Structure 1
Amino acid sequence: MKYLFNAAVIAAAILLGSGATAAPASQDKKAQGAGGRKPVVVSAKKAVPATQKVAVKTQPQARAPQKMATKAAPQAAKSAQKSAGKSALALAESAHKPIRRISASDFETGRLALGSASALVIDQSTGHPLFEKSPDAVLPIASISKLMTSMVVLDAKLDMQEVISIGEADVDTLKGTRSRLPVGTTMTRETAMLLALMSSENRAANALGRHYPGGLPAFVAAMNRKAQSLGMYHTRFEEPTGLSSNNVSTAHDLARMVTAAARYPEIRTFSTTAEAKVELNGRIRDFGNTNALVRNERWDIGVSKTGYISEAGRCLVMQARVADKPVVIVLLDSVGKMTRVGDAIRIKRWMESASLGSSSQRS
């Protein structure tokens, strides 16, 4: 009887020991905040150095690690392990696949419908057009003109830290557009270029031309000479802002201009800066980019410029990397505020679809 009692005690102890589970250790880690472009702080006396790359990439949002439950169904664990194994295998295999070069023949232009009256997508690596829609139509280009304005200033090798002022002559009497730069505002030439390219400030652009050796007449003459030197034979500039509808060009000519502008580090930096805090007359003011796509982490944009006057419609030019391909995108005379952005997104999806389709056919 004593032997049976001892055996029962030992069995109960074994059962109790095997049923015990350890309490999970709690980990309380805070997720990092969503990343974003850091605003540029620019003093009225000293602007951001032209060679400094400013906020080109938006950091993706970091996620807090998920807590794993201590008790998971065996079947679910096996399924997750199997899925993870497949994902790792797929990544390993893709890392060893040769890069598929996409050619113009891979794109079906008939499948891309754009709202812009004139459009052009150029493969920069080959110079061949991937998409064309009335690319030789001569149209007003509005503030796209400011890319040429910036190139002429930089070509003249003027002192970018020289302080220039906004005068009565810089006020828009043609269209009556407003500006956040009151008459009498002073800033460096570099800051004026930043505001002209990023926020499309017309007074800043006009001041750049007015403070050019020989004044506005000499500046406009230099703009037209530069256009001719780039082979922009259907382009004409009348003033540096683009407010005049006599500033005209074609999509083909503008593709040449964007390609040339991309060779200037200052233009690449300033035109793709998302936002800046600028000290003007002792006050800090916030300025933002007129192209919302520069804030989108899905886009890798090297040069950007928007434009609008009633005669030109909404315009957008960009140098960007899409589907692992360097391209120049020109969109002119878009009706509606979002059409040009929508067209750019449609071009991106169209190129990515063509890239995926070509890869699947090859595999």
Structure 2
Amino acid sequence: MLATGSASAAAAAKKSESKRATATSVAKKPAGKRSTSVNRAVRVKASSRAKQRVRSAARGGANVRRASVVVPARLSYGQVYGLHETADPLDLKSSVALVLDQETNEVLLSKNSQAVLPIASLTKLMTALVVIEAQQPLDEVLTITAEDIDTEKGSSSRLALGTELTRGEMLHLALMSSENRAANALGRHFPGGLAAFVTAMNHKAAELGMQDTRYVEPTGLSSRNQSSARDLATLVKTAHHYPLIRELSTSPEYEVAVGKRHLQYRNTNGLVFNPTWEIGLQKTGYISEAGRCLVMQAQLAGRKLIMVFLDSTGRYSRIGDAERVRKWLEELSLSEEPEMPDTEVLPRVTS
């Protein structure tokens, strides 16, 4: 087993457990106690305000030829906590990684796996699980309303207000192409409404023993939706029991009719288009606080594996990390070396 970052992971997990790792709690720390990473986060906000002032001046007719303001990218929680400083033999770009055998629970690779971080649209796996277990009719027509508009991040959607799709179509778009309005509509149409749906999400997490996990909404747009790699592996293993989740999450493309128009959607995970990968379930996620995230169930080197990558830097880096793990496992299976000792075993999931 490759295991790295236990100290960093423990520190991150401890911070997240006490404060739920919110940006607000970090910002309220006394200035003298802030880390360099946190100071950089503060400078990001300051630079954003400066850039806005430059734009305002330009609109007001001021003679502004060049703006020397450079706005850094927003830091993820993993960057703020220094998790990217954890080295690993595979040189992964994800600050958190976990690979385990689905059948034996043997951990093959672990990097900061106990750190609790925002999980972005990986949230939608739990959204799908709650919808399916509630046995709500998939042919019931749901309508997109103003309540489904993203006020958290201001993201766009091709599902205009008034769009009518079946629950099954909404579920397909949420899992395959991470459609936020579709996911929110699924939560709104749950018995008791959105609040009851979020309660059901957290109840299911507790039932599965996902002690590091908390949900506040069904899309993943909120950075307060948080979990650990260990908990997410449990979620993937449970969701894999449902053929519909496996089918919809790995569908390469899907077309829906919206009035007289036909909208074509593609899977957000490029690996499902690669015939050399045998993927049984997958979900991607991204918000700036979470970085690029990916969970998968896949068969590699003759084993059924669960893979979790969190807080990856770069648009394609999570895919690159999956390829690095695949190459490592294939080389390992061809080697004549004995099986690596001191493997770690997670508790079995029975549901």
2:177 and 2:325 mapped to 1: Cα distance? Answer: 24
Residue 201 (1) aligns with residue 179 (2): yes
Secondary structure in 2 matching 1:358: coil
Equivalent residue for 1:341, pick from 309, 314, 319 = 319
Please give the residue correspondences for 1:146-161 in structure 2 after superposition, counting only pairs within 5 Å.
146-161=124-139
AA of the residue aligned to 2:276: R
Q: What whole-Å deviation, never above 9, does each CA across 1:277-306 have from its counterpart, x for those lacking one?
A: 211122111100000000000100001100
Secondary structure in 1 matching 2:335: helix
Residue in 1 aligned with 2:168? 190
Residue in 1 aligned with 2:331? 353
2:280 and 2:102 mapped to 1: Cα distance? Answer: 12
2:146 and 2:259 mapped to 1: Cα distance? Answer: 17
AA of the residue aligned to 1:170: D
User: Structure 1 residue 113: deviation in Å?
Assistant: 2.2
Cα separation, partners in 2 of 1:111 and 1:357, compared to 1, 3 Å: farther
User: Structure 1 residue 112: deviation in Å?
Assistant: 2.1
AA of the residue aligned to 2:177: S
Residue in 2 aligned with 1:321? 299
Residue 216 (1) aligns with residue 194 (2): yes
Please give the residue correspondences for 1:82-121 in structure 2 after superposition, counting only pairs within 5 Å.
111-121=89-99
Question: What do you get for the CA RMSD once the two structures are aligned?
Answer: 1.5
Secondary structure in 2 matching 1:117: strand
Q: What whole-Å deviation, never above 9, does each CA across 1:316-362 have from its counterpart, x for those lacking one?
A: 0000001110000000000110110000000000000001113899x
TM-score, length-scaled by structure 2 = 0.71
Q: What stretches of structure 1 of length at least 5 have no aligned partner? A: 1-108
Residue in 1 aligned with 2:233? 255
AA of the residue aligned to 2:325: I
Residue 133 (1) aligns with residue 133 (2): no
AA of the residue aligned to 1:302: G
Identity of aligned residues (%): 55
1:111 and 1:206 mapped to 2: Cα distance? Answer: 40
2:275 and 2:306 mapped to 1: Cα distance? Answer: 18
TM-score, length-scaled by structure 1 = 0.68
AA of the residue aligned to 1:231: G
1:287 and 1:177 mapped to 2: Cα distance? Answer: 17
Please give the residue correspondences for 1:64-79 in structure 2 after superposition, counting only pairs within 5 Å.
none
Cα separation, partners in 2 of 1:356 and 1:262, compared to 1, 3 Å: same
Residue in 1 aligned with 2:205? 227
Tell me if structure 1 keeps the 8 A contact 2:292–2:311.
Answer: yes
2:103 and 2:206 mapped to 1: Cα distance? Answer: 23
Tell me if structure 1 keeps the 8 A contact 2:88–2:111.
Answer: no
Residue 331 (1) aligns with residue 309 (2): yes
2:208 and 2:260 mapped to 1: Cα distance? Answer: 41
AA of the residue aligned to 2:223: S
Q: What stretches of structure 2 of length at least 5 have no aligned partner? A: 1-86, 340-351
Residue in 2 aligned with 1:287? 265
Residue 165 (1) aligns with residue 143 (2): yes
